[in-house]
């Protein structure tokens, strides 16, 4: 049954499977990528047919599936290149149909659950993230407009790009929803002279962000609080949220944008940067939901825009980044691999394999799957931003020139 299953779905490259008895079987049309994997337990046959999205990652984590020839990245490249054939398989269509009614429950994120979901991932050791992120700990899609930037350069350009779309002025009050380790808030406070409040549900990130604000001398202009966006009541000139909307949950989209509108001054500007999908609404990969981002979901633009429209907000700009996150993840995975022994000392071998799978799988989802990043600029008034986009490039060039003069 597994042989028939793989013969039907492997549509790219060549996959060689070594069974527990040592038998080798080849699947696919041939060519690159060429990968050999070994299955160590016969129980995997049934699991991989029933739910490969969940059990493939678990098997790699547990060591019951190992990559013998080629790399994990090659293997996941091959797997994601065949995802359309997998989705057409009767077993997968049945599983997806049965799972659809559960997606609202899976993404139900009231305050208590939101805090637990955030802690699951973002309250891991700060030293872990230092081993693969840039020095500013930007844990979201970098921006590679030229294509040859280093990770550090691309993350700096991402911050400038976001700041440009916010049309910041000195003294403005800015809210950063999901402020992480504080890098964007500090950048805005320093480069634009704005007063920024960053809110997060991660105690680990909050502690680091507060320390950074003090050390940088920006404590008067950048402050951070442990606070859910639903508990915020002040009003702001600008609101920005990067990499947080994926954790809101579909059933909470209406409330999110109504809250955002209420927190925004009449002539204010908001900017949402998040991972989405270019296809109709779907479900979160079950392995990713179970082990990496519980409660997380990458929405279709149709789901987001419907909630924006009902909230009565203007969509004044949308930009879609298709491969920038793939390049970001590739560099994160490279740095993680280079520091793997240190990660293993913090945690264990299974954790290392889990994160290897996570980083490489997500890269290939951007390269071969329907996943992308969107930036949506929102306002309450139609004339809150210029009618044309030239101001974005002008702002970025001005910041770049200032940085070059300082250097």
Residue 230 contacts residue 148 (beta carbons within 8 Å)? no
Rounded-to-integer distance, Cα 314 and Cα 253, Å: 16
Q: What 3-state DSSP class applies to 28?
A: strand
User: What Rg value do the Cα atoms of the chain yield, rounded?
Assistant: 22
375, 165 contact by CB (below 8 A) = yes
Cβ-based neighbours of 186, under 8 Å, separated by 6 or more:
196, 212, 213, 216, 218, 222
What's the token pair of residue 105?
Answer: 């429950």
| CB crowding 119-138: b at 16 or more within 10 Å, else e | eebbbbeeebbebbbbebbb
Annotated active-site residue in 79, 298, 352, 362:
362
Beta-carbon contacts of 150 under 8 Å, excluding residues fewer than 6 positions away, are none
Residue with tokens 């930009």: 319
The tokens of 104 are what? 């609202």
**Quick check: is 362 catalytic?**
yes
Q: Catalytic residue numbers?
A: 362
């Amino acid at each position: 049954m597994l042989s028939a299953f793989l013969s039907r779905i492997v549509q790219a490259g060549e996959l060689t499977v070594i069974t527990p008895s040592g038998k080798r079987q080849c699947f696919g049309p041939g060519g690159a990528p060429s990968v050999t994997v070994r299955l160590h337990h016969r129980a995997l046959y049934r699991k991989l047919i029933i739910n490969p999205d969940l059990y493939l990652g678990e098997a790699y984590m547990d060591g019951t599936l190992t990559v013998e020839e080629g790399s994990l990245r090659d293997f996941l490249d091959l797997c994601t290149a065949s995802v359309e054939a997998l989705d057409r398989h009767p077993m997968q269509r049945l599983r997806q149909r049965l799972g659809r009614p559960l997606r609202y429950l899976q993404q139900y994120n009231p305050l208590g659950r939101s805090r637990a979901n955030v802690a699951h991932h973002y309250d891991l050791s700060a030293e872990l993230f230092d081993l693969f992120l840039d020095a500013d700990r930007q844990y979201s899609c970098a921006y590679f407009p030229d294509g040859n930037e280093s990770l550090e350069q691309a993350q700096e350009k991402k911050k400038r790009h976001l700041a440009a779309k916010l049309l910041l002025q000195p003294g403005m009050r800015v809210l950063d929803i999901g402020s992480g380790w504080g890098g964007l808030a500090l950048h805005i406070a320093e480069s634009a002279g704005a007063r920024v409040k960053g809110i997060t549900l991660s105690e680990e990130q909050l502690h680091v962000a507060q320390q950074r604000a003090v050390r940088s001398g920006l404590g008067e202009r950048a402050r951070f609080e442990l606070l859910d966006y639903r508990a915020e009541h002040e009003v702001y000139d600008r609101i920005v949220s990067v990499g947080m909307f994926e954790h809101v949950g579909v059933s909470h989209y209406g409330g999110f944008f109504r809250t955002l509108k209420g927190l925004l001054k009449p002539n204010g500007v908001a900017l949402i940067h998040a991972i989405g999908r270019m296809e109709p609404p779907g479900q979160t990969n079950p392995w990713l939901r179970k082990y990496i981002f519980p409660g997380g979901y990458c929405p279709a633009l149709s789901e987001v825009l419907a909630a924006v429209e009902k909230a009565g907000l203007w969509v004044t700009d949308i930009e879609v980044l298709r491969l920038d996150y793939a390049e970001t993840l590739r560099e994160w995975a490279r740095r993680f691999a280079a520091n793997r022994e240190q990660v293993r000392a913090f945690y264990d071998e299974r954790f290392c394999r889990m994160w290897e799978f996570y980083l490489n799988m997500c890269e290939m989802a951007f390269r071969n799957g329907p996943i992308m990043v969107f930036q949506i600029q929102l306002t309450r008034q139609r004339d809150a931003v210029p009618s044309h986009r030239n101001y974005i490039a002008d702002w970025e060039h001005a910041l770049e020139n200032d940085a070059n003069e300082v250097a």
